A and B are shown apart, each in its own frame.
Chain A
């Protein structure tokens, strides 16, 4: 059973600070890792994806991947109240189904 684990939160971060979201996965064969943002009542929106160990930066967002430890994280710099949402970690395995395995998401609250 492939699993993706996230702390459900809520994670409360003051405005302007760095929000750090973590995700672990069980399938060592996983190849692609995605972060989605989901506002309440809305569908997920792709933020970024990562394949290689290390950091990948896109604007205020940085994804970090460590395959040896089987974790992937998302850092949000200069957090804004509009960043308040549920962040879903998703994992795709090589040779598996074409779909993704999603974590349950971390509810992030940015306090003004």
Chain B
């Protein structure tokens, strides 16, 4: 089945530093990828839609200058959390739409648990 690889799975960083998270679709091309954030016992919250070759679309309340998204190819999107602070600690999950499959389901990466100290 479709596989989405996300790296790193876990990262601990100091406040003020930047962290880059990679999301790759391994066996299908993804013109659109999505970045979600999930706090403990909460639902997934869409942060932004990453579009290959164009600017990302951010959801209301998400700072585009803090969460930088780059979708450089049909298989890779990156999320950079700039100047991270403890309140940015969360579970970040990417997903990619497999348009080659009927229904174009979303497949998720394994997530990145970010802890900012």
**Interchain CB contact under 8 A, B34 and A99:** yes
**Interchain CB contact under 8 A, A98 and B109:** no
Q: Taking the nearest CB of chain B, how far is it from the CB of A24, in angstroms?
A: 15
A25 at the interface (CB under 8 A from B): no
Within 8 A of A (CB), among B35-49: 42-44, 46, 49
Which of A32, A43, A97, A102 interacts with B43 by CB under 8 Å? A102
**Interchain CB contact under 8 A, B106 and A43:** no
> B97: nearest residue on chain A (CB-CB)?
A98
Binary per-residue interface labels of chain A (46-84) against chain B in the complex, 1 for a CB within 8 Å, 0 otherwise: 100101000000000000000000000000000000000
**Total residues of chain A contacting the partner, CB 8 A:** 21
**Interchain CB contact under 8 A, B93 and A43:** yes
- Residues in B with CB closer than 8 Å to A34 are 105-106
B67 at the interface (CB under 8 A from A): no
Residues of A within 8 A of B (CB): 32, 34, 36, 41-46, 49, 51, 88, 90, 97-100, 102-105
Instruction: Please give 8 more A-B residue pairs, beta carbons under 8 A apart, in addition to A45-B108, A97-B59.
Output: A36-B108, A42-B111, A44-B108, A49-B103, A99-B34, A99-B46, A103-B43, A104-B43
